[in-house]
Amino acid sequence: DAKTTQPNSMESNEEEPVHLPCNHSTISGTDYIHWYRQLPSQGPEYVIHGLTSNVNNRMASLAIAEDRKSSTLILHRATLRDAAVYYCILRSSNQGGKLIFGQGTELSVKP
């Protein structure tokens, strides 16, 4: 299974943009890049996913490098409610839908 590498922790100031990086140098051509976040004592929440093109939704944007070996989750204006652990996960068609979680990035947001 292709792996992802994320920084253990990041800090941001409230109302500033946040760029959360993810490296996935062994990604295959059919792997989708998914992002989830988890608040303390809650289940993970789907954020966004993409294959090759950049993606935008109401929660965030996903910027995918041209060679697909890295991606960046962008929160345009961080709020205190965005403080969570963010997981970058690769999903392939032969995994039966399994999500393989790494350690993620713990994002703290300062007022």
Partner 1 sequence: DGGITQSPKYLFRKEGQNVTLSCEQNLNHDAMYWYRQDPGQGLRLIYYSQIVNDFQKGDIAEGYSVSREKKESFPLTVTSAQKNPTAFYLCASMLYSGPNYGYTFGSGTRLTVV
Give the range of 15-23, 59-67, 71-79, 88-96 binding partner 1 by CB under 8 A. Answer: 88-96
Q: Which stretches of the chain are assigned E, i.e. beta strand? A: 9-13, 18-23, 32-38, 45-50, 55-56, 61-64, 70-75, 84-91, 105-110
Per-residue tokens: 79: 């709020």
> How much of the chain is helix, strand and coil, in % rounded to 5?
5, 45, 50
Give the range of 10-18, 19-27, 65-73, 85-93 binding partner 1 by CB under 8 A. Answer: 85-93
Does 32 interact with partner 1 (rule: CB under 8 A)? yes
Does 92 interact with partner 1 (rule: CB under 8 A)? yes
Binding partner 1 by CB under 8 A: which of 18, 78, 87, 109? 87
Q: Where are the alpha helices (DSSP H) in 19-77?
A: none
Does 77 interact with partner 1 (rule: CB under 8 A)? no
Does 53 interact with partner 1 (rule: CB under 8 A)? no
Q: How far is the CB of 80 from partner 1 (least distance, A)?
A: 20
Q: Do residues 107 and 12 make contact, with C-beta atoms less than 8 angstroms apart?
A: yes
Q: Which residues bind partner 1 (CB under 8 A)?
A: 30-32, 34, 36, 41-46, 49, 51, 87, 91-93, 95-104
